[in-house]
């Protein structure tokens, strides 16, 4: 297990660029909202901790994780001044193949947005076997994947900025 013995919320804060000048979008799935709201809070608080002003963070909700790709695409088109977008979702294994199709679709969709677009889209979609695993990774014993996603968003925004020079 990749998170075994690791806390997703622990990182070297001094290695993160100051994000005061950056603007971010966050697209949040409403499905499994106990998990996704916690992930959002982790991302939101981390962005603010690194200097992002609250007014420079825009949030959109979508019904489920499969809709994250469309939400992120529309956010890219609507807010061309964003420096990064975080896609937040939670897919929990059930008794059918639905889990596989949703996970594959959203991961492929976000990959395509990164390949075809200029604004980095960060994958913050938990794909767990059960609700307890999701809770453990959204503020529980393994920390908060939202925090990790915000750190990745800041680093990618900085990379995007440096690549333009």
Q: Is 101 helix (H, G, I), strand (E, B) or coil?
A: helix
Instruction: Decide if pLDDT at 3 tops 60.
Output: no
Q: What would the pLDDT profile of 112-121 be if each residue is shown by its tens digit? A: 999 999 999 9
Instruction: Decide if pLDDT at 1 tops 70.
Output: no
Cβ atoms within 10 Å, residue 117: 15
The stretch 128-144 carries a mean pLDDT of 94
The stretch 112-136 carries a mean pLDDT of 96
pLDDT bracket for residue 110 (50, 70, 90): very high
pLDDT at site 68? 98
Whether residue 31 is annotated as binding a ligand: the answer is yes
The CA–CA distances, whole Å, from 142 to 84, 100, 123 equal 25, 24, 18
**Whole-prediction pTM value?**
0.94
The yes-or-no answer on residue 50 being catalytic is no
Q: What would the pLDDT profile of 52-71 be if each residue is shown by its tens digit? A: 999 999 999 999 999 999 99
The stretch 83-108 carries a mean pLDDT of 93
pLDDT bracket for residue 4 (50, 70, 90): low
pLDDT at site 107? 97
The residues pairing with 101 across neighbouring beta strands, listed in sequence order, are none
Q: Which of 13, 20, 34, 98 is catalytic?
A: 98
d(CA 152, CA 130): 25
Whether residue 66 is annotated as binding a ligand: the answer is yes
Give me the chain's average pLDDT, please: 93
Q: Is 89 helix (H, G, I), strand (E, B) or coil?
A: strand
Instruction: Decide if pLDDT at 5 tops 70.
Output: no
Whether residue 99 is annotated as binding a ligand: the answer is no
Work out the burial of residue 13: count CB atoms within 10 Å of its CB; fewer than 13 is exposed, 13-18 middle, 19 or more buried: exposed
């Amino acid at each position: 297990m990749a998170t075994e013995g690791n806390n997703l919320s622990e990182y070297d804060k001094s290695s993160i660029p100051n994000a005061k000048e950056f603007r971010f979008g966050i697209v949040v799935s409403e499905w499994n909202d106990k998990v996704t709201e916690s992930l959002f809070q982790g991302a939101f608080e981390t962005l603010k901790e690194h200097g992002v002003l609250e007014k420079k963070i825009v949030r959109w909700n979508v019904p489920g994780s499969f809709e994250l790709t469309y939400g992120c695409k529309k956010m890219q088109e609507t807010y061309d001044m964003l420096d990064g977008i975080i896609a937040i979702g939670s897919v929990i294994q059930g008794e059918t193949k639905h889990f596989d199709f949703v996970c594959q679709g959203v991961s492929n969709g976000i990959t395509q947005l990164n390949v075809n677009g200029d604004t980095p889209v960060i994958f913050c979609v938990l794909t767990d076997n059960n609700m307890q695993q999701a809770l453990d990774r959204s503020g529980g014993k393994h920390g908060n994947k939202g925090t990790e996603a915000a750190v990745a968003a800041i680093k990618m925004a900085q990379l995007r900025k440096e690549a333009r020079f």
